[in-house]
Amino acid sequence: MIAVLDYGIGNLRSAEKALRRVGGDARLVAEPAEAEGAAGVVLPGVGAFGACARALRSSGLDAVALRAVREGVPFLGICVGCQLLFEGSEEDPDEPGLGVLEGSVRRIPGEVKLPQMQWNRLELRPGARSAMLPPQEDGGWFYFVHSYAPVPEGGAADCVVATCDYGGPVVAALERASLWATQFHPEKSGRSGLELLGRFVRGCSGVGAGEGRRPAGLPG
């Protein structure tokens, strides 16, 4: 079972349906107990960082996300779910993130139109090896809707596997062992997005909570 964390923010069913379409036994879970034994955990998110962070903590599902990361259970953060992995966001400085990855989330700089609401091409980081992204030269096209993006620091900077060009490079995908995170929406990204989700589903096969290995560099 793949637990899609339902903390009352946005339309989470699109992620659930896309995971089911590629063969995953995805289920929305609103209570921490419902995620027990999950082979994978997905944290979607749309809207404002602060509202999502507060709702996640209020639901108690923040503990599910942190436990999955700590225990090496395959984990996928999507859009604001990706941003929540960081220490905080300038969108709501008083609301902390989960602090799994070093760095913060910042407004996309420059004079570009915000939000970025379009398909954009990924640019793979030179030398990056990714289990998440389809192996193609141009990185593929994916759908973005956001005004803020992660700015990784320290070891988290090494987790960046792809950026997109929107008035300059914008972090689009991060990966560290079983932890995956995308600023784009794979569930809305057609064939490329489904291929990514299929890779996640296959990575969840045979791995239950507590059976994975703790990824190096993550908090204990």
Active site residues: 79, 185, 187
CA 75 – CA 109 distance, rounded (Å): 29
182 DSSP β-pair partners:
78, 173
Residues 6+ apart with CB under 8 A from 197: 18, 19, 22, 24, 186, 187
Residue recorded with tokens 């994916």: 142
- 176 and 118 in contact (C-beta within 8 Å)? no
Contact assessment for residue 174 and residue 161, using Cβ atoms and an 8 Å cutoff: yes
What distance in Å separates the CA atoms of residue 86 and residue 181, rounded to the nearest whole number?
11
For residues 163 and 169, is the Cβ–Cβ distance under 8 A?
yes
> Are 107 and 150 spatial neighbours (Cβ–Cβ below 8 Å)?
no
Between CA 209 and CA 36 the distance in angstroms is 7
